Chains A and B, each alone.
Chain A
Amino acid sequence: MIIAERKPMDEIKRMLAPYKKVLVAGCGTCVTVCWAGGEKEVAILASQLRLARSAEHNEISIFEASVERQCEREMVAEIKDKVTEVEAVISLACGAGVQTMSEMFEDKPVFPGVNTTFIGMPEKEGLWVEMCGACGDCFLDRTGGICPIVRCAKGLLNGPCGGTRKGGKCEIDPDKDCAWVLIYRRLEKQGRLDLMRNYYAPKNYRAVKRPGRIQAAKA
Chain B
Amino acid sequence: MNNCIVAFCCEHSAYPAADLAGKLKLHYPENLRIIRVPCAGRVDLIHILKAFEKGAAAVMVMGCEGGACHHMTGNTRTKERVKYCNLLLREIEADGRLVAMFNLSPNAPHKFVGAVNEITKRIKESGR
Contacts and interface: CB of A to CB of B under 8 A. Distances in A.
Partners in one complex: yes
Interface of A: 8-10, 13, 40, 43-44, 47-48, 50-52, 54-55
A44 B94 contact: no
B92 interface: yes
Interface residues of B, number: 13
**B contact face: mostly helix, strand, loop, or mixed:** helix
Contacts of A43: 46
Contacts of A47: 46, 49-50, 52-53
Interface of B: 44-46, 49-50, 52-53, 88-89, 91-94
Given A44-B88, A48-B88, A55 B49 contact: no
Chain A at the B interface: SS class: helix
Contacts of A54: 53
B93 A48 contact: no
Nearest to A50: B53
Contacts of A40: 44-46
A63 B44 CA distance: 20
B31 to A, nearest CB: 20
A51 B46 contact: no
A5 to B, nearest CB: 13
Most buried by A among B45, B49, B50, B92: B92
A47 B89 CA distance: 11
B4 to A, nearest CB: 16
A8 B45 CA distance: 17
Given A47-B53, A51-B52, A51-B53, A9 B46 contact: no
B46 A52 contact: no
B49 A10 contact: no
